[in-house]
Chain A
C-alpha cells in the first residue's frame, strides 16, 4: 500500500494542502500520514533572549517557554484533528505523528519509517531578498527526501 505524507508545522499549515493530500491519498488508495512538527527555534530564541539580556530568572523564563510549547502542541492537535475529519469523510486510512525539532531531519525520519511515496509540504511565501540569501527548509527537504515532494507555496 502506498503512503502519502502531509507535513505540517507550527508555521506551515494550509487548508489547500490538506485537501490536496486527502484527495491524493484517496485517488491512489494510499494511507495518509500527517506529521506535525513543533518548531522549537522560536521558543529557544525567546528563552535565550531572557537568559542573555532579560531581567527575569530561570523560573519565569521556563514557565514562559512551557506556555509557548503547550500552545504549539494544542495547535498541532487541532490541525491534525482537521485532517483526520477530512480523511474519515473520504474513507482514507489515516495515521498521525507529532514531533519536535529540526524540520528536514524529522520529515526524512518519518518518510523512511512509513516508506512514503509522496510527501506534501507547505512553503511560506518569502521576499525575493530572503530567497536570494537563504534557502527554505522545504527546498532542502525536496533535495534530500528519498521520495517525491509536492510543495504548496502559501
Chain B
C-alpha cells in the first residue's frame, strides 16, 4: 500500500484544512456584525436582519462554497427565524406559480429530449442545410438558438455536443488548433446562450425574475410580453454572433462532404419517426400556443402542469424517465430566491438600499438601466445567472420604486442580460461543454466572448431606448 506523506510545513497543512471552517466563521461574524450594529435611519429591525441574511446569501452564491440550492434553503429557514416573515408565509412562497411553471417546463423539456424529437430535428436540418462550411456553422448556430426558444438551453447544449463532436472528428479537425472546430463549438455554445433568453423556456431565470416581481409588487409579465421585449436583442445578437463566427474565425476547411456519411448514419440510427415523437411535438406546440395567447387568463404554471398531466395520460413518458431528465435540486434554488426577494421587499430592505446606497449614483432612469444591465452582464460571467437575478432584482425593484419606474422595466433589464454569459466555461454549462471538447480553449472563449459581451450590452441598451417605447414600454 502506498502511503503518501504530506511534506508541507505544518502551518500550511493546518491552514489548508481549516480554510473552509474559517470561511464559515467569517461569514457568521459578518452576519452577527450586521444584525448587531445600530439600526440605520429609515430601516426597521426586520429590514436590517434581512440585509444581513442577503449579504450572507450573496457571499455564498458568489463564492460557490455551498451548492446554490443549499444557500436558498438556508434563506428559507432564516427568514422566519429572523422574524421577517412568519413560517407559514415563508414556506408558502415556495409554492409560487413561477416554481411550478419551471417544474412543468423542465418536465416537458425532459420529455422532448427523451422522445428523441429534438435530436432528430437537429440531425435532419443539419444534414439538409449544412452543405458548405459556412452553412453548417449557420445550421448549428441558428438551430441551437431556435431549439433553445422552446426547451432548456442546457438540454440543447448537452444534446448537440455528441453531434458536433462527431462532425469535428469526421472532418479530422485538430483539437485546439483548427479554427473551424472552434467555430463549430462556439456556434453551439453561443446559439444556446442567445436563444435561451428569447422566451420563458430557455432557462429558469426569466420565470424566476417574473415570480420575484409578482411576489414583490403583484405585477405580472406574460409569456408573449417578455418575448416581445427580448426578441430584438436575441435576433440582432444572432446576426452579430454569426458574423463573428464566420468573419473573425474564418474557416480553414473547404470541403465538408465527408460528414454527409456521419449524418446519414445518424439518421439511420434514429429510424422512423414514432408515435411518441409526433405526440410530444404536437403537445409542445399546443402548450407554447397556450402560453403565448392564453397565458394571462389560464396562468402559465397551470398550462405547464396540465401539459405534464397530458404526457402521462397518453403514456408518452414514464415517471422514471422524467426523474432522470430533471435536475430536481435546482428547483429548491428558485423557491429560496423568491422567498429572499419577498423578504427584502416586505421588510423594506430593498427600498432602503435603493434610497441610501443606489441614489448616490443613480441620476436618471436611463443611467440606472445602463448601469444595472452592465452590472448584470458582468456578474453573470462569474456566477450562476439565477443567482445574479436573486441578488440584483430585489434591489432593482426598490430602485424602480424610488424613481417611479415601471418595475417590469427593471425586471427585463436584469433578466435579459443575465442570460448573456459568453466569456468563461464557468459562466454557463453551454460554455463548459464547448471547452470540455478540447477544440476550444478557455482563452479562445474569453477572447471572442468579451466582444460578444460588449456587443450584447450596447445592443441591449439601444433596444431599450429605441425599441421598447415602440411597444409601449415607457421609460
Q: Which residues of A contact B (CB under 8 A)?
A: 10-11, 42-43, 45-46, 49-61, 63-64, 67-68, 71-72, 75, 109
Residues of chain A contacted by B426 (CB below 8 angstroms): 45, 49
How many Å lie between the Cα of A57 and that of B67 in the bound state? 16
Please give me the 8 A-B residue pairs with the lowest Cβ-Cβ distance, nearest first: A59-B324, A55-B152, A53-B384, A57-B325, A54-B154, A46-B432, A57-B326, A55-B154
How many Å lie between the Cα of A11 and that of B439 in the bound state? 10
How many Å lie between the Cα of A89 and that of B429 in the bound state? 44
Q: Which of B106-150 contact A (CB under 8 A)?
A: 106, 109-110, 113
CB closest chain-B residue, reference A53: B384
Task: Tell yes or no: B68 within 8 A of A by CB.
Answer: yes
CB distance from B203 to the nearest CB of A (A): 7
CB distance from B246 to the nearest CB of A (A): 26
Residues of chain A contacted by B425 (CB below 8 angstroms): 45
Q: Which residues of B contact A (CB under 8 A)?
A: 2, 64, 67-68, 106, 109-110, 113, 152-155, 158-159, 161-162, 165, 169, 175-176, 203-204, 323-330, 333, 384, 386, 425-426, 428-429, 432-433, 435-438
Inter-chain residue pair count (beta carbon < 8 A): 98
How many Å lie between the Cα of A137 and that of B398 in the bound state? 48
Residues of chain A contacted by B323 (CB below 8 angstroms): 57
How many Å lie between the Cα of A10 and that of B329 in the bound state? 31
Instruction: Label chain B's interface by main secondary structure.
Output: helix
Residues of chain A contacted by B2 (CB below 8 angstroms): 109
Please tell me if the beta carbons of B429 and A57 are within 8 angstroms of each other in the complex: no
Please tell me if the beta carbons of B152 and A51 are within 8 angstroms of each other in the complex: no
Please tell me if the beta carbons of A42 and B155 are within 8 angstroms of each other in the complex: no
Q: Would A75 and B326 be within 8 Å (CB), given that A52-B68, A64-B158 are in contact? A: no
How many Å lie between the Cα of A64 and that of B155 in the bound state? 10
B155 partner, pick from A45, A60, A71, beta carbons under 8 A: A60
List 19 extra interface pairs beyond A60-B324, A67-B162, CB under 8 A: A11-B176, A43-B436, A45-B426, A45-B436, A46-B429, A46-B436, A49-B432, A52-B67, A53-B386, A53-B429, A54-B327, A55-B109, A55-B330, A63-B158, A64-B433, A67-B161, A68-B436, A71-B438, A72-B438
How many Å lie between the Cα of A11 and that of B386 in the bound state? 32
